[in-house]
Structure formats: C-alpha cells, structure tokens
Structure 1
Amino acid sequence: MLNDQQVNLPAHYLSIKEASAKISFSMPSDLQTGCLLRTLVAAKPNGTYLELGTGTGLSLAWMVEGMTAQSTLITIDTSETYQAVAKVYFGKDKRVQFVSEDAANWITANRHKKFDLVFADAWPGKYELLNETLNMLNTGGLYIIDDMLPQPNWPAGHEKHVERLIKQIEANASLQITKLNWSTGIVIVTKNGILL
C-alpha cells in the first residue's frame, strides 16, 4: 500500500493549489496530513472544529469534506491575502467562519469556546498558548499538529522548539498521545480530563 496512490482529492483542492502557487504560498500541508484530517473530522459528526492557520485553504478543503451538515468550523489566519484564496471556495459555506487576526489574540479572547477537533498549524496554539488551546478541547476531543519531523523550510534552531513542544505535551497527564513517524511528522492528542 502506497500512501499517495489513488487519493481522492477534495473539491477545489487542485484549484486552490494552483492559486497558492500564483501568490507564492509555500507552506501547504501534504496529502497524507489532509487525508488524515478528513478522516478525523468525519469521526466527529456534527462537531465543532478549529483550524489555526488557514493559509490558502488546502487543509481546510480536506476538513470541509469530512464535515456533516450540522458541523461548524472556525479557521484563523493573520494573512488576508492567503485567506482570500480560501474564501473564494468556502466563503459561502455557512458552516465555515473565517477570522483574520492574530491567533494568539483570538485564543486569549475565546478561551471559553470548546471544540471537538483542533488542527494547530500556526505558531499560536502550538508553540505559544499550548495549554490554553488544549483547554478548548472537549473531553475526547482531538488536537492535531504536523511538521514534527525536520522540514527543509525550518529556520535555524527550530528543532529546539519542536523538542520543547513534544516534552510539554508528554508531561500532561490528562492527555493520550500518539506520535506518528509518517507524513511530515504527526502528533495526535486526545483529552481525557481537565488540564492540571
């Protein structure tokens, strides 16, 4: 079984990828991460989802395809230029709410909100305000991060941030963790209680 054979791409994916290339967006999640997101979103029917880091909507395309009619998704990015691409394809989907602001500010102001799944693909919610973001998970909710294996676009010294993040997650007794040496390096976390 080969990971990238016979992948059913979500609607608009190729168009978004083409539009991303035109504006030199160079931080897309890969196909394996996308397939996993679609499956995990589908495992939480009628759920509430949070995406930290819309980018141009490539990951969003996978997540939307896994959603049911009663699902809702909030996607956040600081770049209106990148989000504008995603809005072309998902701006009329009433299940999707776009937020254009610093995710750290949004997390701080919305700590009371609860989600069944969080895909943290931005600095805030991942390397910053981690516990605050994990506290937004419902019990049994899923927290997903990618790019935990070395990437060509990592800045110098970034591996130290990754190591610190993994240790912080592992030290939390209220979490169940699976680390996958697959795709770009995926970590899936589920919450089994209130954070200490």
Structure 2
Amino acid sequence: MSCSALIIIDMQRGMSETSVGERNNPDAEGNIYRLLTVWRKVRWPVVHVRHISRTPGSPFWPGQSGSEFQPALAPLPSEHVVEKNVPDAFVHSGLERWLQVRGIQQLVIVGVSTSNSVEASARMAGNLGFATQVISDATFTFAKHDYAGTYRTADEVHAMSLANLAGEYATILTTCDALSLIDFSPQV
C-alpha cells in the first residue's frame, strides 16, 4: 500500500455512551489506535472527522462532552480535522479538496458507524474515484430494526453495510491485512 490517508470517522466521546445501544466490534477502538500509531510512524496523512449535530440536546451538539474526540484517538496539531453535520464526511466539509491538493488518491476508512457515516463516506469516496479501503474490525455499528420491523443485531447490520460497500465502492480489509500492506523499509 502506498501513501494512504487514514480517515477516522466520528470517534467522539458520545459514541461510547451506553445510551447509543448495542454495538459490535468491542475491539474497534484498539484497532483504530493500532492503525493510527502506524500512520503516525510512517508519517502518512491522518484526517479526523467529527460530527457536529444540528439537533439541540444531541450528545454531538457543540460544546457537549459527547462531541469531543475520545482522548486515545484525539488528533495531533499536525493532523487535519473535518467537521460535518450529515453522515457523509465529504458533504460541505472541504475534505475532497484537501485530499486532491495533496495528491492523495488512496483512503483507509475506520470509525463509526458502519451503517451510517462510514458507509456514506466510503460510498462517496468510491464515487469520487478514490481507491478506498474500509477496515472491518476498526469500524462498528449498532443494532436496529430493519424496514420490515425485524430486529437486526449489530453484527448483522455491520455485515450488511460491509456487503453494500464491497467491490463497488471499497475493498474490505482487516486491521492485520491493512498493516501487512505497508512497506516499512527506508525510502531512498
């Protein structure tokens, strides 16, 4: 894998509150941290995406503790931060332009939630022509009822979202798969 931007979506304190419901991938934050550590080591671009709600009372409303980044995954001053008000990280955020100006053509997407902001952002990335990878064990989502009213576990919702993305919009990898593609040899 050549220089890819790591896009970390909505890893905010509000996503770790119990009120958000049953989730899958309890190790997702640890896998995101592993990827973030490597990206920093090889000095590849990192983009932190933060959801800022337009709904008063939301945990993601500006100034609420839920809108703050989770401390272990907080951006460094040198890392780019994008704020969004809708699920798609590209809409009205300047993200596409920021990537294009830097010649970045490959994206690795992690974060939450697979069935919402991750899926929306990965679809747009694929549609915009970016070579996009979504890391299955560094993303997570929540249980929900489908349109017919059938309860779906978080694992089921996650699996369907990844299936929706696979091939057409993104390549689905695990953390280990992604890390194995990075060449750590010194560049001459």
Q: TM-score, normalised by structure 1?
A: 0.46
Q: TM-score, normalised by structure 2?
A: 0.48
Q: Which has the higher contact order (CA 8 A, sep 6+)?
A: 2
